[in-house]
Amino acid sequence: MEDLITVSTEPEAEQPLPVHEHSKVGRRYDRVAALYDLYDAPMELAGGRRRRERVISGAEGRVLEVGIGTGRNLAYYREPARLIGIDLSPRMLGRASRRVRGTDLGAQLAQADVERLPFADASFDTVTATCVFCSVADPVAGLAEVARVTKPTGRVLLLEHVWPTGCVGGWLADRVSPITRRLFGPSLNRRTEENARAAGLLLQQVRRRGVWREIVATPRQDHEGRPAPGS
């Protein structure tokens, strides 16, 4: 069974990875771009596709997708979404551009870092990301940027896999993550719910099933209506 709940607790966020990890993320995904959809296929067949469709179909208005990758989410945006997609990896963007040509979205693609988004405050009605913050070197910084560029009335839609809560699963994820990160990019032990709160996002709904989280969030505002940092 999937649990759809409103979240109110504030666990501790994780610490960022070392600075040198920032420059490695794009290179890792350049290396695996040609085979990315193939090696990710088992996760798609195990429910990833259904979850991505459910998350992305909620996007409205002017949309930013961070970590657009090979563009697999393009088929799930409803018209007339005005979409900008960014990624660190030029080779992933190259594959996404081929998918863009097969849609009517008129999406724009750009190489950019989610930790330093080249957009003004409150620029987007919706920001989306699917299986992205498992790879970002400083996930709290990246999510804070997402909060910054989302309009006060906008929404952040996330699909992420997180650290398993069981003793054995958590222990294994902690030990395997350095290997998966070095070979393919993602960490298996991210605490994305906690990171999102620390970044200044209010989690309105979280759908949980196993390690999967489908998150609907909004930017936290201070008393003057400005984006507020996490507490």
Structure-model confidence comparison of residues 166 and 193, the more confident one: 193
Q: 83 near 105, Cβ under 8 Å?
A: yes
DSSP secondary structure of 124-135? EEEEEEES-TTT
Output the pLDDT for position 227.
58
Output the pLDDT for position 102.
84
Task: Calculate what percentage of the chain has a pLDDT beyond 70.
Answer: 70
d(C-alpha 226, C-alpha 38), whole Å: 42
pLDDT score of 146 more than 80: yes
Preceding amide of 80 cis, omega within 30: yes
Output the pLDDT for position 42.
72
Look at residue 225 and tell me if it is in a domain: no
pLDDT in tens, 94-136: 999 999 998 888 899 999 999 999 999 999 999 999 989 878 8
pLDDT in tens, 16-72: 544 445 556 667 767 777 777 776 777 777 778 899 999 999 999 999 999 999 999
Structure-model confidence comparison of residues 15 and 162, the more confident one: 162
Structure-model confidence comparison of residues 87 and 46, the more confident one: 87
Question: What number is the average pLDDT over the span 83-91?
Answer: 94
Q: What pairing do the DSSP bridges indicate for beta strands 82-87 and 108-111? A: parallel
**Residue the block writes with tokens 């990160």:** 181
Helix axes 90-100, 20-32, angle to 10 degrees: 50
Look at residue 81 and tell me if it is in a domain: yes
Output the pLDDT for position 45.
76
* Amino acid type, 180: T
pLDDT score of 7 more than 50: no
Copy the structure tokens of residue 226. 């400005």
Where does the chain have alpha helices with state H?
A: 20-32, 36-39, 41-43, 49-56, 90-100, 139-149, 167-183, 192-198
User: Could you list the residue range(s) of the whole structural domain that residue 175 is in?
Assistant: 3-219
Look at residue 34 and tell me if it is in a domain: yes
Number of folded domains that form the chain: 1
Q: Which residues contact 179 (CB under 8 A, 6 or more apart)?
A: none
The residues pairing with 206 across neighbouring beta strands, listed in sequence order, are 5, 215
**Residue the block writes with tokens 């393919």:** 184
Q: Is 194 helix (H, G, I), strand (E, B) or coil?
A: helix
Burial of 211 (0-12, 13-18, 19+ CB in 10 A): middle
CATH of the domain at 16: 3.40.50.150
Of the candidates 97, 105, 29, the one whose C-alpha atom is nearest the C-alpha of residue 63 is 105
Output the pLDDT for position 1.
39
Look at residue 231 and tell me if it is in a domain: no
> What pTM, to 2 d.p., does this model score?
0.79
Sheet holding 201-209, edge to edge: 3-5, 201-209, 212-219, 150-161, 124-130, 62-66, 82-87, 108-111
Residue 16: how many CB atoms within 10 A of its CB? 17
Q: Is 223 helix (H, G, I), strand (E, B) or coil?
A: coil
pLDDT in tens, 151-182: 999 999 999 877 556 554 544 545 454 545 45
